Amino acid sequence: MAKINFGGVEEEVVTREEFPLSKAQEVLNGETVAVLGYGVQGPGQALNLKDNGINVIVGQRKGSKTWDKAVADGWVPGETLFELEEACEKGTVLQFLLSDAGQIALWPTVKKHLTPGKALYFSHGFGVTYKEKTGIVPPEDVDVILVAPKGSGTSLRRLFVEGKGLNSSFAIHQDATGNARQKAIALGIGVGSGYLFETDFYKEVSSDLTGERGTLMGAIQGLFRAQYEVLRENGHSPSEAFNETVEEATQSLYPLIAENGMDWMYANCSTTAQRGALDWMGPFYEATKPVFAQLYKSVIDGVEAQKSIDSNSQPDYREKLEAELKELEESEMWQAGKAVRKLRPENN
């Protein structure tokens, strides 16, 4: 592992330099990786592993939209694409990539096929961390590992195709074979990670649930909406409000922050923008930190996990979700966004 200084704190990470793809292929030689689920993370991880020379099969419910997507992506029924239970039987590494609710439902089937020496792989610590709520308690004679890409499966695949990588965390919950750590890192390299940093299942799920509800989606949508509405209420057009709120951020500033950092961004904008950003950073910090503290407490107390389980297990969950997403889609701000995206030069 490489020792890297992160803002004065030294941390060990795994890069492709000390753990190249050839080493990952060697560690996984003779394994059959069964990717269970072809929804959010499944396609990116499965395709990246396949393109990296790892023996991969996909398990999915036949007749589902995701089964058809797997076929469209080149997985062959009866050869590399199977019903979930058959994939569980054939795989030596079971990548459990169904939704949290899907994992709860399929767990009895998966557990039945976890024979001694196999590995159970997660990309989210939810099921194991909240075992009292999910019932997911792996047998003691299998490896239980985690690789969690820090982004969507779509981004994981896109960056891989571009010759880049998406950073991932990894964790070892149970090492039955003595080879769990090597296997986890090899799979992390195989799915296309930029670098890997170590965590545990509890820390992964608590940081992940906080991030999703916070700056990754929940908080950012709340901030976007608040600024957009204030601009609209004060006579600004939808185009002006959306461009100043979302378009400039996502198309211009956020990519520069990703490349160079916020310190660089502050140093490379107008003096007027510098002064205003520095002055208002404090009030926004003071206003939102208590909300993040409240959110984190809700996560570690298990409230967010229980909400997810209760909501996702309802028979009308999909209908209610679609109604909420439709309301978001049809809001003026995101309708303005749809119009703005069509006017981008690359779309004309």
Residue pair 153/192 in contact (Cβ under 8 Å)? The answer is no
- Based on the residue annotation, tell me whether 113 is a catalytic residue of this protein: no
DSSP string, 206-232: HHHHHHHHTTTTHHHHHHHHHHHHHHH
Catalytic residue among 113, 124, 173, 236: 124
Per-residue buried b or exposed e for 288-322, using 16+ beta carbons within 10 Å of the residue's own CB? beeeeeebbebbeeeebbeebbeebeeeeeeeeee
Amino acid identity, position 294? Q
**Between the CA of residue 151 and those of 168, 169, 217, 262, 283, what are the distances in Å?**
9, 11, 12, 20, 29
Residues 6+ apart with CB under 8 A from 238: 232, 332, 333, 335, 336, 339
Catalytic residue positions, numbered: 124
